[in-house]
Chains A and B, each alone.
Chain A
Amino acid sequence: MAVALDPAEKRRLFERLSSVREIVFGVQDGVLTTAGVLAGLSGAVNGRTQIIMAALASTAAGALSMGAGAYLGTRAEVEVIRGELARTRQEAAAQPYVLQEELLEKLAGEGLTREAAYRVVKLLSGSPHALLTTVEAKLYGLGSAGGNALLDGITMGAAFLTGALVPLLPFIFIATVHAGLIAAMATTALTLFTVGYFQGWLANRERCWLSGLRFLTIAMSAAAAGYLIGLAIAPLGSVPSL
């Protein structure tokens, strides 16, 4: 028999799950970018060490860039939300009836009779805090403005790095470019399929393998496109081997 989570535990679970966005995005981007770089350079460059150095540089730049992007993005989001919440609180203090009326209209629009909605809002108004948090969640779709910019940045950067290592490590440890590229593509495919499958599992999908297959298709398309572009630009300039 399934045991229902208590609301506080469920809230913490949702907060943890919100990191899935950073993890999935970071891993996917790390795998795809690095696989694309490896495939592209393998088509354009002959030197194996040169390819590895370029891929390592791309990985470092990608991880730092993605981490910084996630940090700045979350920070900006949190600041905007906090500003909006402060404005709402000032409005609530000065004109509580305006928010009460807006909440009433919202509840009435969601199926409550006007009279029932009035009574719900009136009861909520017994606690200004309860009224305010309900207005924020119900009218503005805002939860707590507790996004952690640093955590999001680190998660995204680490996820990108992890993803990037997947195709990079076999390429580093296998002696020939051709065999290394095949191994990198195989681990990339396996990883992306697994990430897609995992995402499908989190979303309670019945056919998780479809999610995995979608990730796999995107990865292979990106890698193939990268390889073809590398082949196409190779004649434009000769890059000396190391």
Chain B
Amino acid sequence: MTGTLDLAAQRPTPSAQKRINFPSAGAAVRLIAVAALLALALSTPGFLSRVSLIALANAISLVGCVALAMTFLTIGGNVMSFSIAATTSVAGMVFMATLGYGLPLAIGSSLLAGMIISGAQGVVIGTLRANPLIVSLAAYALLIGGTQLIAGPKIEPANLDFQIFKGRLYGVPVSFVIFAGLAVLGQLVLTFTRVGHELLLVGSNSKAAEAAGIHVARITLFAYVMAGAFAAVGGILVASRFGAADMQTARGFEYTAIAAVLIGGSSIAGGRGSLIQTFVGMATIAVINALTLLQGFSMEVQKLTIGLAVLAVIIIQGFGRK
């Protein structure tokens, strides 16, 4: 599994292409799966209609931002965060609570809230080497309980400025434009900055990275702050879509998010993956959902199908490493 990364490290300018299209058994299986899915999609009546595609775009953009956020943590070697969806909800509540002071301030404070909540966990995990799963689990319980105590079950906005996020841009939902923009922006950071490269190295082997002089704690903090900011954007979109913010709407997003990360092909052990892959993974989940729905299956079957897909990907990753 280190082969690809060693290669990338030896090249003076590793291109994003190299990191995304690594050849492996898993990649081949994934290619076949995607082809089969596409064939099924194209042969399902009604799938390519404008309404259906817009519904698809709408469906993935909210949880998609959370999935992008999760990607920073997964590829950085921290597996996943149980608290990322709660962070999303809290950021949404902050957004709605501060909307009365103007849209820019509301967006700013929401992003800040997300970055602080996630960054605080990043400090504990990066500096103290605390277990990321357990810290995020504690943060999850803390956020769910804490917001209930401080803010109550629901926050209604002071005005309707959030409507801007519910609109369309040339027919495309604004939320989808933001989601796609975030994916590209985040990927540019990962591909073309030093911290981006170092994050992948830390995720691949934190001890080696440390020995190579990389400040692991600082890089981990960077990943968590980025995740917090991305999750907050998701929170703003969720709150705007529903016209109010609560802790319930985004509940369980963390599972869809990690599913998208893994189905996209990022390694759960860290060190390999990209935001573009997560974008593709999210789109795949949306297509599976739309297909099961159009084929007449219930929502329950969707959940099971996604779960089986994740399990399959994890097992294939295991085979690929053998």
Q: Is chain B a partner of chain A in the same complex?
A: no
